[in-house]
Structure 1
Amino acid sequence: MILIIGASGGIGKFLFEKYKSIDSQVIGTYNSSSSNVVELSKVDVTNFDQVFNWIETNKTSLNNITLINCAGISYNSFAHKSDPEKWKKVIEVNLIGSFNTIRVVLPIMREQNFGRIINFSSVVASKGTAGTSAYSASKSALWGMAKSLAQENASKNITINNINLGYSELGMIEQVPEAFLNTLIQQIPAKKLCDSTDIFRTVEYLRECNYTNGSSIDINGGLI
């Protein structure tokens, strides 16, 4: 069973539809956007009880779980001008929300002696970009969390890895003003945005490989 957190938009929606198209068992969540897809449930990942109840509702069908954490928000502001509450909200969704979903499914994975956890991090966390301190902090924190959780769960055939995504055709690229998009693309050595197919291939690699664990894989077209 594939669980996609944040499956109603961007990368999460693409992966959900891709797995549905190849007849995989997949369910997911949405929150800020709307959805009438029967396999998607409205869940606020920052609320542990909501996450727990969603998993409990579907528990009997959860076998050989792959958890893909795609839910995320951004907040752009120079730190000295930032709104502390908006800054904290990014941490709550991107980091604590990811931990909440992991925390709920880990006992099931450990009981079944199998699990794949894939978090979406970002090139921004390593590149350093002005105005993205909240987003960068939330995404780089996933790296340390993955390493610790790998130590705790590798003996149970559970892997947890991150995909450090550069600028892709999906997701938050729509927030980049058109005037800056071409300039941004020229900064990428590959001179193009990441194709959605490469995202899917990387997810599949992490699902199939049982020895890649606690790692972060860059998909960035050479951007550093």
Structure 2
Amino acid sequence: MARVAFVTGGTRGIGRAICERLKSDGMKVAAGYSGNEEAAQACARELGVMVVKGNVGSFEDCDRAVRTVEAELGPVDVLVNNAGITRDGVFHKMSPAQWSDVIRVNMDSVFNMTRQVIEGMREREWGRIVNISSINGQKGQMGQTNYAAAKAGMIGFTKALALENARKGVTVNCICPGYIDTEMVQAVLETVLASIIAQIPVGRLGRGEEIADMVAFLSGEHAGFVTGSTLSLNGGQYMAG
């Protein structure tokens, strides 16, 4: 029977690439989204995946979304916590809203979504949780104390949850992408983009498909011995020990 995967922030960018890859691997896939209806409908139409609208910062929305997916596709076997936002600004000028918005969507969402599926995974003694963090959660970034804190928190969450569930057949891993060729990155000034690429040893931006390849492995049947890991996919820009 096909595994069921739920990818938050799954209708654009890295998330869409992940959905496309998991669907091509034979999984039944649901893509979560919060607001861009046009992108969501295009994703559903072009990839043939289920799309589910909701706010990952709301525990109630996450409960509703997971119940909706389970009713149509079956119990969630694979959860990819990919949704995230930025509200950049130097800390001494950062507003409480800039801080709390990012923590809620990027960090609280990991609890909100994972809590909905973890008991079922433990009962079935099989599950895959993949958290999409960031290079900036590893090394920090000026103007992103909120984002870096949330993404670093995902790494700690991954390690602790992996320990709790290892004997139940549930793996929990974290991927830290560097700068990926998404529409968000392409929107920055050309001069800024050039300076970013100059800092990447392989000399280019990453591709969403490259992140999706790693998610596909970690989500698969042969990744049962990989858990609690943080994998850096950044072209050599930051080599975490």
- TM-score with structure 1 length normalisation? 0.94
**Runs of 5+ in structure 1 lacking a partner?**
none
The equivalent residue for 1:144 is: 156
The equivalent residue for 1:212 is: 226
The equivalent residue for 1:223 is: 237
**Runs of 5+ in structure 2 lacking a partner?**
none
> What is the 5 A alignment of 1:158-197?
158-170=170-182, 172-197=184-209
Are the aligned partners of 1:64 and 1:114 in contact in 2 as well (CA < 8 Å)? no
Out of 8, 17, 38, the residue aligned to residue 11 of structure 2 is: 8
Q: Residue 19 in 1 paired to residue 19 in 2? A: no
Alpha-carbon distance in 1 for matches of 2:33, 2:107: 16
Aligned partner of residue 104 in structure 1, secondary structure: helix
Aligned partner of residue 219 in structure 2, secondary structure: helix
Query: Could you report, residue by residue, the CA deviation over 1:12-52 in whole angstroms, capped at 9, with x for unpaired residues?
Result: 12222333345431112110322233710111111111111
Out of 58, 62, 67, the residue aligned to residue 69 of structure 2 is: 58
Are the aligned partners of 1:64 and 1:112 in contact in 2 as well (CA < 8 Å)? no
Distance change (3 Å), C-alpha of 1:21 and 1:154: closer
The equivalent residue for 2:31 is: 28
Distance change (3 Å), C-alpha of 1:100 and 1:32: same
Post-superposition offset of 1:64? 6.5
Alpha-carbon distance in 1 for matches of 2:173, 2:195: 31
Post-superposition offset of 1:172? 3.5
Aligned partner of residue 129 in structure 1, secondary structure: coil
The equivalent residue for 1:40 is: 51
Alpha-carbon distance in 2 for matches of 1:83, 1:48: 24
The equivalent residue for 1:67 is: 79
Distance change (3 Å), C-alpha of 1:86 and 1:62: same
Amino acid at match of 2:162: A
Post-superposition offset of 1:205? 2.1
Task: Number of aligned residue pairs: give it.
Answer: 224
- TM-score with structure 2 length normalisation? 0.87
Distance change (3 Å), C-alpha of 1:113 and 1:171: farther
Structure 1's consecutive aligned runs of 4 or more residues displaced over 6 angstroms after TM superposition are none
Identity within the alignment, %: 34
Query: Could you report, residue by residue, the CA deviation over 1:147-197 in whole angstroms, capped at 9, with x for unpaired residues?
Result: 111111111100111101001112641343222111110111111111233
Amino acid at match of 1:219: L
Q: CA RMSD in A?
A: 1.7
